[in-house]
């Protein structure tokens, strides 16, 4: 039986008025004992003393099976498991501390360790190394930050690290239970076998992954959490050279609900759909320059929202840095509360406490944030105006308290970010209505055709701006024509205000921000009034020397 303790405590200045039961297990015993020792004894001569310490342990388990053209990859690993540890240490005082300052803005991350031994002493040893290293680093940052603030004449009106009521969330951690191995293998084989016999496909593979991340968190103000975050997904991948000789690939990630059996048919259908798109891509025409309305399908719309909204509503408190005056990681909307940032055909909400969507576990689920504050639901955009920002204990410069949106991972110390983002149409249209509206707008602009994008460049590091799956839809007769090799030109936040309509087909996608924090996005198809499309610069490849076997 699953036991859940959901206790949100009222704590003043980080001091608990009522004690919630700290889980009695090896992880919390080790964290507590090492935290107590460190805060009591960790000092360097003439250095600032540590006043805040937080530990996060993550027990990561994964099992994947993959197959290509109906045959398993000859690669087998037993479930991979690692215990990872992270420490956040602040030195000085809450009014004036060592955090929020960096010399290199690409590096504002907690100290971490990837293979902590699974024993009480092993965990304490790992945490000791992280704490000691974190303290020496914090001492140095504290001195540098004070020197920088003196040099720039910066004074604090608000504390660097505000006190906040601390919360806790404790849930019994279930053992990692992947599907039976044989079943995963059989499914991967069945899905990938659908690509067999398709002459132009150079590869067609299916990977099935089961992941569980068990989180254990404790901070020195009394906040803590313990819960498991499961995730199950299928990745389909098709690789080909299309008729024009261009090397193209299609990738689809399908999140699975806990009751994955019920989803088998849907996955099968999506596999068939991907193969259909591959067939279209094989025969597709190369794109030509275009400027006009574009209909984004839910998947493309999610990337659009991530790139233009989610990334700009993050890291609300800019970092101080001696290297650069402006913090490039800070979201562009951080000081635009009350301003119009989006079309009023949709509202945007953030729901960190929502655990599932149609049975699929959400990637942004966060009952208590990484500063120990209970996470709150936010109305991010309402009536087109930016309404609420994610806030942390460090973004209290306007006197606003944290709303429990400090998120950290291995690449960033706790900073403000959204979690599970829901874009809701005020007057949702059916798919047919959306297409009709697109065509009507195209006719109004006297265009021969306009575009439906089925994917959108995510703008993530390491990816180019090329869209593989798109269609032209002709104004004259509604005829559709597959197109490949598009890139989006000069996209700006202006496009958010150009949304003309939203569909009734909201779909769940997962994404990450540049700091690799995970988000869930539930977004319907969106009609955007103007996006500029250019043909990509990619050149055709030669035909294979030898035909496929």
Partner 1 sequence: MKKILLAGLLLGGCLPLAAQGLCDISAQRPIQLLETELNRSFKTLKKQKPSIYYLSYTYTQTDEQALSVAEGGIAQKDKQQNAYLQVMARAGSPKMDNTRTLKIDYDDFYQPQYTMPELSGDGKAFRTAVWRATQEAAERAQESFSRVQADSVNAAKRSDDSNDFVFPPKSTYCRTEAPLSFDLERIKALLLKASEQVQGSAFVLDSSFSFTVSQGSRYFVDSVGTRLKTPFAYARLSYTLDGQTADGLNLTRSEAYDVLKESELPSEEQFLAAVQKSLAELQTLSQAPEAEPMTAPAILKNRAMAVFVHEVLGHRVEGFRQKDDAFGKTFTDKVGQPVVSPLLTIVDDATLAYFDGVPLRGFYEYDDEGVKARPVTLVDKGVLKNFLMSSSPIKGFPKSNGHGRAQAGRRPVARMGNTRVIASETVPYEQLEEMLLAEIKRQGKPYGFIIEDLSGGFTQTGTYAPQAFKLEPTLVYRLYPDGRKEAVRGADMVGTPLVSFNKVLAAADDYAVFNGSCGAESGWVPVSAIAPSVLLEALEIEKTYKNSYKPPVLPPPSADKKGGNK
Distance CA 411, CA 105 (A): 11
The binding track of 44-83 with respect to partner 1, each residue x by CB under 8 A or -, is: x----------------------xxxxxxxxxxxx-xxxx
Q: With contacts defined by CB under 8 A, how many residues of the chain interact with partner 1? A: 53
Q: What mask, x for binding partner 1 by CB under 8 A, covers residues 8 to 27? A: ------------------x-
Restricted to residues 132-151, the positions that interact with partner 1 (CB under 8 A) are 132-133, 135-136
In the complex, least distance from residue 429 CB atom to partner 1, rounded to whole angstroms: 43
Q: Residue 299 CB, nearest distance to partner 1 (Å)?
A: 27
Site for partner 1, residues 419 to 448, rule: CB under 8 A: none
Applying CB under 8 A, which of residues 11, 20, 38, 231 lies at the interface with partner 1?
38
Q: Near partner 1 by CB under 8 A, which window of 129-137, 143-151, 163-171, 360-368?
A: 129-137
Which residue, 98 or 329, has its beta carbon nearer to partner 1? 98
Strands 360-361 and 356-357: antiparallel
> With contact defined as beta carbons under 8 Å apart, do 237 and 204 qualify?
yes
Nearer to partner 1, 36 or 288 (CB): 36
In contact, 423 and 501? CB cutoff 8 Å:
no
Residue 357 to residues 6, 176, 182, 353, 360, Cα–Cα distance (Å): 21, 21, 28, 12, 5
For position 498 contacting partner 1 by CB under 8 A, the verdict is: no
Place of tokens 């659908």: 194
Compare residues 399 and 549 and give the one whose CB is closer to partner 1.
549
Decide if residue 542 touches partner 1 (CB under 8 A): yes
Closer of 70 and 459 to partner 1 (Cβ): 70
Cα distances from 488 to residues 313, 385, 465, 530, in angstroms, run: 22, 26, 6, 11
Beta carbon of residue 511, minimum distance to partner 1 (angstroms, whole number) = 27
Cα separation, 62 vs 38, in Å, equals 33
Residue 33 binds partner 1 (CB under 8 A):
yes
Instruction: Give dist(CA 17, CA 12) in Å, integer.
Output: 8
Quote the least distance from Cβ 544 to partner 1, whole Å. Answer: 5
Q: Which stretch in 5-13, 127-135, 398-406, 458-466 sits in contact with partner 1 by CB under 8 A? A: 127-135
Burial 485-524 (b: 16+ CB within 10 A, else e): bbbbeebebebbebbbbbbebbbbbbbbbbbebbbbbbbb
Residue placing its CB nearer to partner 1 in the complex, 461 or 548: 548
- Closest approach of partner 1 to the CB of residue 128, in Å: 5
Rounded CA separation 447/291 (Å): 9
- Applying CB under 8 A, the span of 114-122, 263-271, 429-437, 499-507 interacting with partner 1 comes to 114-122
Paired sense of beta strands 526-535 and 486-488, if any: antiparallel
Q: Work out how close the CB of 210 gets to partner 1 at its nearest, in angstroms, rounded to a whole number.
A: 16
Q: How far is the CB of 203 from partner 1 (least distance, A)?
A: 6
Look at residue 149 and give its three-state secondary structure: helix
Residues 6+ apart with CB under 8 A from 208: 64, 65, 66, 179, 184, 187, 188, 232, 233, 234
User: Cβ of residue 175: shortest distance to partner 1, in angstroms?
Assistant: 16
Q: Which one, 180 or 338, has the nearer CB to partner 1?
A: 180
The residue from 105, 125, 198, 382 that contacts partner 1 (CB under 8 A) is 125
**What gap in Å lies between CA 406 and CA 372, rounded to an integer?**
9
- In the complex with partner 1, the residue whose CB is nearer, 67 or 170, is 67
CB of 245 to partner 1, least distance (A): 13
| Residues in contact with 74: Cβ distance below 8 Å, sequence separation at least 6, in sequence order | none
Q: Which lies closer to partner 1 via its Cβ, residue 37 or residue 286?
A: 37
Position among 93, 96, 129, 431 found at the interface with partner 1 (CB under 8 A)? 129
Q: How many C-beta neighbours within 10 Å does residue 93 have?
A: 16
Check binding of 115 to partner 1 (CB under 8 A): yes
Query: How would you list the strands of the sheet with 420-425, edge to edge?
Result: 385-386, 378-382, 346-350, 420-425, 518-523, 507-512
Regarding 251 and contact with partner 1 (CB under 8 A), the answer is no
The H or E element containing residue 484 is strand 480-484
Residue of 8, 22, 37, 244 interacting with partner 1 (CB under 8 A): 37
By CB under 8 A, is residue 548 in contact with partner 1?
yes
**Binder among 23, 111, 124, 170 for partner 1 (CB under 8 A):** 124
- b/e burial code for range 202-240 (CB count within 10 A of at least 16 → b): eebbbbbbbbbbbbbbbbbbbbbbbbbbbbbbbebbbbb
Residues in region 186-225 near partner 1 by CB under 8 A: 196, 202-203
Judge whether 168 and 9 are in contact, CB under 8 Å: yes
Q: Which of residues 142 and 357 has its CB atom nearest to partner 1 in the complex?
A: 142
Q: Mark the segment that binds partner 1 (CB under 8 A) among 14-22, 120-128, 344-352, 402-410.
A: 120-128
DSSP string, 90-139: EEEETTEES-SEESSTT-B--EEES---SSHHHHHHHHHHHHHHHHHHHH
- Please state the φ and ψ torsions of residue 73, each to the nearest 5 degrees: -65, 135
State both tokens at 368.
């208590």
Copy the structure tokens of residue 176: 């990692």
Smallest distance, partner 1 to C-beta of residue 532, A: 33
Q: What's the closest the beta carbon of residue 41 comes to partner 1, in angstroms?
A: 6
Q: Which residues bind partner 1 (CB under 8 A)?
A: 26, 29-30, 33-34, 37-38, 41-44, 67-78, 80-83, 115-125, 128-129, 132-133, 135-136, 196, 202-203, 542, 544-546, 548-549
């Amino acid at each position: 039986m699953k036991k859940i303790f959901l206790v949100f405590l009222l704590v003043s200045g980080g001091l608990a008025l009522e004690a919630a039961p700290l889980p009695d297990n090896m992880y919390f015993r080790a964290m507590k004992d090492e935290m107590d020792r460190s805060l009591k004894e960790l000092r360097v001569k003439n250095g600032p003393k540590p006043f805040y310490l937080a530990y996060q342990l993550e027990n990561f388990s994964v099992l994947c099976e993959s197959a290509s053209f109906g045959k398993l990859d000859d690669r087998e690993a037993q479930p991979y498991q690692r215990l990872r540890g992270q420490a956040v240490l602040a030195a000085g005082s809450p009014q004036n501390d060592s955090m929020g300052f960096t010399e290199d803005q690409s590096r504002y991350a907690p100290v971490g360790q990837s293979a902590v031994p699974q024993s009480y002493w092993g965990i304490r040893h790992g945490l000791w190394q992280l704490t000691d290293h974190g303290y020496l680093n914090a001492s140095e940052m504290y001195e540098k930050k004070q020197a920088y603030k003196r040099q720039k004449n910066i004074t604090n009106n608000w504390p660097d690290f505000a006190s906040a009521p601390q919360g806790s969330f404790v849930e019994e951690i279930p053992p990692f239970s992947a599907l039976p191995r044989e079943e995963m293998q059989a499914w991967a084989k069945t899905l990938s076998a659908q690509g067999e016999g398709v002459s132009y496909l150079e590869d067609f593979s299916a990977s099935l992954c089961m992941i569980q991340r068990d989180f254990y968190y404790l901070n020195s103000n009394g906040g803590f959490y313990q819960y498991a975050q499961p995730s199950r997904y299928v990745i389909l991948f098709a690789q080909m050279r299309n008729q024009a000789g261009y090397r193209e690939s299609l990738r689809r990630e399908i999140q699975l609900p806990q009751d994955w059996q019920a989803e088998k048919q849907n996955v099968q259908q999506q596999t068939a759909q991907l193969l259909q798109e591959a067939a279209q891509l094989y025969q597709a025409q190369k794109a030509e320059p275009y400027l006009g309305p574009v209909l984004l399908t839910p998947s493309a719309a999610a990337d659009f929202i991530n790139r233009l909204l989610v990334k700009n509503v993050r890291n609300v408190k800019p970092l101080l840095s001696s290297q650069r005056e402006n913090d490039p990681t800070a979201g562009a909307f951080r000081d635009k509360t009350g301003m119009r940032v989006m079309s009023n055909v949709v509202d945007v909400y953030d729901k960190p406490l929502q655990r599932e969507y149609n049975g699929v576990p959400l990637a942004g689920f966060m009952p208590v944030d990484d500063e120990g504050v209970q996470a709150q639901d936010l109305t991010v955009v309402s009536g087109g105006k930016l309404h609420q920002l994610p806030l942390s204990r460090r973004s209290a410069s306007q006197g606003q308290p944290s709303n429990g949106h400090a998120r950290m991972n291995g690449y960033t110390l706790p900073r403000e970010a959204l979690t599970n983002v829901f874009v809701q149409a005020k007057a949702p249209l059916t798919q047919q209505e959306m297409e009709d509206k697109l065509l009507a707008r195209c006719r109004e602009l006297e265009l021969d055709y306009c575009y439906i994008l089925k994917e959108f460049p995510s703008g993530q590091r390491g990816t180019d701006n090329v869209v593989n799956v798109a269609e032209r839809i002709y104004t004259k007769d509604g005829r559709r024509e597959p197109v490949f090799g598009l890139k989006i030109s000069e996209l700006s936040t202006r496009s958010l205000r150009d949304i003309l309509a939203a569909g009734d087909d909201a779909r769940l996608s997962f994404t990450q921000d540049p700091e690799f924090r995970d988000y869930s996005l539930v977004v319907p198809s969106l009609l955007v009034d103007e996006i500029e499309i250019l043909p990509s610069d990619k050149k055709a490849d030669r035909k294979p020397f030898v035909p496929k076997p």
